[in-house]
């Protein structure tokens, strides 16, 4: 059924390459594009991390709308590690932060901001 969805063509190559993560990639892509209204959303291959990720900009109304942000889809049932997080940062050329999209079976998604190092809470 995935194949007839309008989002499929943009995701097709990574869905075929990493079938284990197609669910979380598909849900996150749709949520970021349609619900969060991000702009210029691109799908990227994380290579060594063996999964796809997203890159885009927040809506024009957001603070700092022009910064390019990264979203890593991940299923709630997965197990990750510090090394995994480190690899993600390396694959993206060490951005100052990434958003981890945690996708549950019922397709609800939460986003958490991961930053390398000790970063003070934003007020």
Partner 1 sequence: MKGRIPIRIANKRAYIWDVDDLDKVRSEHHICGLLVGTLPHLSQQNVFLGLPAQLTPEEATLLVEKEYAVFVDDTNAYPEPSLSQFQQWNAEQKRYIEHQRAALESENVKSSEVAQLVVSEEAVRKRKERELRRQQKALELRRLQEVEGDGAVHAILSQPIPTPSADVQALFSDLRPTTSSAPAQYNICIAASSSSLEWYSPESCSYSTIDAARTAGIWDFPSNLQDRARYGVFKDLWEQGYFLGGGIRFGGDYLVYPGDPLRYHSHFCATVIESPTHTIRPMEIVAHGRLGTATKKTHLFCGWDDEKKTVSYVSIEWAGFG
Distances (CA, A) of 59 to 37, 71, 81, 84, 104: 6, 15, 31, 29, 25
Q: Which of residues 69-88 bind partner 1 (CB under 8 A)?
A: 74-76, 78-86
Query: Should residue 99 be labelled a site residue for partner 1 when binding is judged by CB under 8 A?
Result: yes
How many beta carbons lie within 10 A of that of residue 108, not counting itself? 11
* Minimum separation from the CB atom of position 116 to partner 1 (A): 6
| H-run or E-run covering 102 | strand 98-103
Query: Should residue 34 be labelled a site residue for partner 1 when binding is judged by CB under 8 A?
Result: no
Give me the residues that bind partner 1 (CB under 8 A), please.
Answer: 31, 35-36, 74-76, 78-86, 99-102, 109-123
């Amino acid at each position: 059924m995935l194949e007839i969805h309008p989002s499929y063509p943009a995701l097709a190559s990574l869905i075929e390459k990493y079938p284990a993560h197609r669910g979380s990639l598909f849900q996150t892509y749709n949520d970021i594009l349609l619900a969060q209204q991000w702009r210029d959303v691109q799908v990227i291959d994380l290579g060594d991390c063996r999964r796809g990720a997203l890159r885009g900009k927040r809506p024009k109304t957001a603070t700092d709308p022009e910064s390019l942000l990264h979203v890593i889809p991940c299923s709630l049932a997965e197990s990750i590690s510090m090394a995994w997080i480190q690899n993600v940062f390396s694959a993206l050329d060490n951005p100052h932060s990434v958003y981890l999209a945690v996708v549950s079976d019922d397709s609800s998604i939460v986003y958490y901001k991961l930053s390398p190092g000790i970063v003070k809470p934003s007020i």
